[in-house]
Amino acid sequence: MSEYILGIDTGGTYTDGVLIHNATREILKTTKTLTTKPDLSVGILAVLNDLLPADPTQIRAVVISTTLATNAIAEGKGQPVGLLLLGYDPELIQQFSLGSRFGAASFHYFQGGHDLYANQQAPLDSEGIRKTAREIQKEVDAIAISGYFSPFNASHEELAYRIVAETVDLPVVLGHELSTRLDSVQRATTASLNASLLSHLKDFIQAMQASLRERGITAPLMVVRGDGALVGADIAQSRPIETVHSGPAASASGGCFLAGVDKALVIDIGGTTTDIALIEDGQVQIREEGTTVGEYRTSVRAARIHSLGLGGDSRIKINVENQLKIGPARVQPLSSLAHQHREVFHYLKKLAAEKHKKPNLKEIEFWYLIRQPPRIPSNPRARQVIELLQSGPLSLPVLLEKLNIFHPLQSGATSLIREEIIGVAGLTPTDLFHVRGDFTPWNQEAAQIAAWLTATHLGISVDEFINKTIEQMVSRIARETITYLTGQTLEPAPYYAHPDDLGLWLFEENASREDPNLGCEISLKMPLVGIGAPASLLLPQVAGLLHAEYIEPPHYQVANAVGAAVGSLIAYQEAWVIPQSVDIRTVGYYVQSGKDRERFRDLQEALEYAESATRSAALEQVNLMGIQDPVYKIDQLQDGAESYRVRATVTGKPDPGKSL
């Protein structure tokens, strides 16, 4: 019988792996490597090679949590999509500027759609759909279809699908298959974003499956969904939007598992971001109203995660007011770049020798070539930048001088940085940890020089500079934790102004205890579980500010991979209970369960039927998925004055006898 589970998490900076014994849940081996952008599978395969047992057939499952979908949306790297809107009101969309929310530059309106009672608004414009599909087929890589009130009647979406499939050879995504929510804009956005991600996740998963076969691994490949549930790779390929926030969901679950607690605040601090999540009853809290990715609001149920652009590899800069700023941009630490390129270290040593000059902090920003561009840039200066970086990294002032320009924006290469063709290196907290000796895998002397140059520019000692940086990071994480839990912001006052905000005063007094007359204490009513590589260096101080018990579990550095490995299968089915009104008077209730609709006079009777219908549908799903020792839960979610969504949720471990 298969004995092991491999858990892998691909973060913005590191790819982590863990080998776990299936029966005992004992962690047998862990590994950590740098994430390989833009091809994530390279780093994942390095983890696989490090963790494989002598007999690969003993692996029961390989589970991956990935940032691929989240990053593709946030960085605008999705494939072009044509969005077909059935029964939507163009004037309403234009009046409220809703078109920018769709996530598709090409969207088209057609007669059709339904109303709240599943009645057809108008016949579907079949010929218009066929004509538009032909016209846009060379401009897009996929087509998304969203019909008005399609969760209550999907017939127009399904007819439009058949028309498009007969007309063009493109993948097609239907809105009602991804969301039962009635927000038509969010459902259309969810469909278009899902369509834009299809090729990304398909290529990634197929490359992974091929690599597993080469290594003799016959176990199924599973992916962590954004709500922490495990799904088969084939489902993840067709519904990639549901893997948004996959990584943070896995890290929260892993932290909870390792700490052995059912209720906790889990803070995962990595190289790129710090993610905050709340665990209740052993499960990560879910955002029911739909999660936001970048600038887009979707209908996807995902973990309620608060992410901030602050981590070990956040760029440290001094602004025009001579104030310290950390993040949100991520850069390669100078200690790492100098370790890889000896000429960078020699350049920094030369800067340190020029003690008669005030340090120019632009000198410690370097650009370097990550990979060759897939196509030659049209901008001649961008082409020149690539040519100059072929021979190795260059300090930004040196690069600008060679280009004969004064500002990086004039280089035409900023888009190449966004596309991860050109990389940027600079001073980071990771470098400061090198200076203190907390973490020293790379060039410690390079980090010391960069820290000394920055501290000298500020007119303070290196120790004071490091302490100020860490203090600012700790304060930011604590403030963001309070914002996450309360919904109340705690924006710090400008350095030249006295804070005129009671909440901010209370927070600062909690930290400093300086007021001679009043005092206060902010207390977290649960443990704070710290995970991620830099957790031990920052999060105990955050717990101190919040007067919380701090738990740093074993294997906290790879808790996200652990979360992937110990994840559960989750099946859920929903039904709607909607009032039937006549002259503003409720005369009965409809229950919409899938394509079926039943009418009841009494609300309680309708709710009971909805519970029974969703439970039966969830049971069917359980049998298909192979959930072992299922646990059932029924929720009634009020959605309007007398409208309810009734959800049956089933949670359990994968059955070893079934393959997803």
Q: Is residue 614 part of a domain?
A: yes
* pLDDT per residue as tens digits for the range 370-388: 988 888 888 999 999 999 9
State the CB neighbour count (10 A cutoff) for residue 328: 14
Beta carbons of 624 and 605 less than 8 angstroms apart: no
Q: What is the pLDDT of residue 660?
A: 45
**Is the pLDDT confidence value at 476 over 80?**
yes
**Is the pLDDT confidence value at 95 over 50?**
yes
Residues 6+ away with beta carbon under 8 Å from 399? 367, 385, 388, 389, 411
* Cα end-to-end span (Å), the chain: 17
Give dist(CA 618, CA 188) in Å, integer. Answer: 26
Q: Mean of the per-residue pLDDT values for the chain?
A: 89
Give dist(CA 241, CA 190) in Å, integer. Answer: 7
Beta carbons of 113 and 158 less than 8 angstroms apart: no
Give dist(CA 191, CA 174) in Å, integer. Answer: 6
Q: Residue 511 in 3-state DSSP?
A: helix
Count Cα atoms within 13 angstroms, Cβ side, for 374: 3
Q: Residue 311 in 3-state DSSP?
A: coil
Q: What is the pLDDT of residue 384?
A: 94
Q: Is residue 640 part of a domain?
A: yes
- Give Cα 214 distance to the centre of its chain: 30
Beta carbons of 144 and 194 less than 8 angstroms apart: yes
Give dist(CA 231, CA 181) in Å, integer. Answer: 21
Q: Is residue 30 part of a domain?
A: no
Average pLDDT over residues 564-592: 88
Label residue 497 by pLDDT band (50, 70, 90). Answer: low
Tokens of 426: 């600079």
**Is the pLDDT confidence value at 129 over 80?**
yes
Label residue 656 by pLDDT band (50, 70, 90). Answer: low
Q: What is the pLDDT of residue 599?
A: 93
Strongest mean pLDDT among 32-36, 87-91, 632-636? 87-91
Tokens of 587: 């005369």
Which domain, by its residues, includes 587?
569-654
* pLDDT per residue as tens digits for the range 543-576: 999 999 999 999 999 999 999 999 888 888 899 9
Q: Is residue 431 part of a domain?
A: no
**Is the pLDDT confidence value at 357 over 80?**
no
Average pLDDT over residues 426-432: 97
Residue of 121, 55, 119 lying closest to 88 (CA atoms): 121
State the CB neighbour count (10 A cutoff) for residue 450: 30
At 25, the amino acid letter reads R
Beta carbons of 108 and 84 less than 8 angstroms apart: yes
**Is the pLDDT confidence value at 82 over 60?**
yes
Q: Is residue 617 part of a domain?
A: yes
Q: Is residue 596 part of a domain?
A: yes
Tokens of 138: 């060379």
Give dist(CA 384, CA 10) in Å, integer. Answer: 33
Average pLDDT over residues 405-421: 87
Q: Please tell me what DSSP assigns to residue 371.
A: S
- Alpha helix segments (H runs only) across 31-152: 40-51, 68-74, 90-95, 126-136
Label residue 358 by pLDDT band (50, 70, 90). Answer: confident
Count of domains in the chain? 1
**Is the pLDDT confidence value at 276 over 90?**
yes
Q: Is residue 575 part of a domain?
A: yes
CATH number, domain at 609? 3.30.110
Q: What share of the chain is helix, strand, coil (3-state, %, to 5)?
A: 40, 25, 35
Residue of 527, 490, 529 lying closest to 510 (CA atoms): 490
State the CB neighbour count (10 A cutoff) for residue 354: 12
Residues 6+ away with beta carbon under 8 Å from 457? 318, 358, 359, 361
Q: Is residue 586 part of a domain?
A: yes
Between 505 and 92, the more confident residue is 92
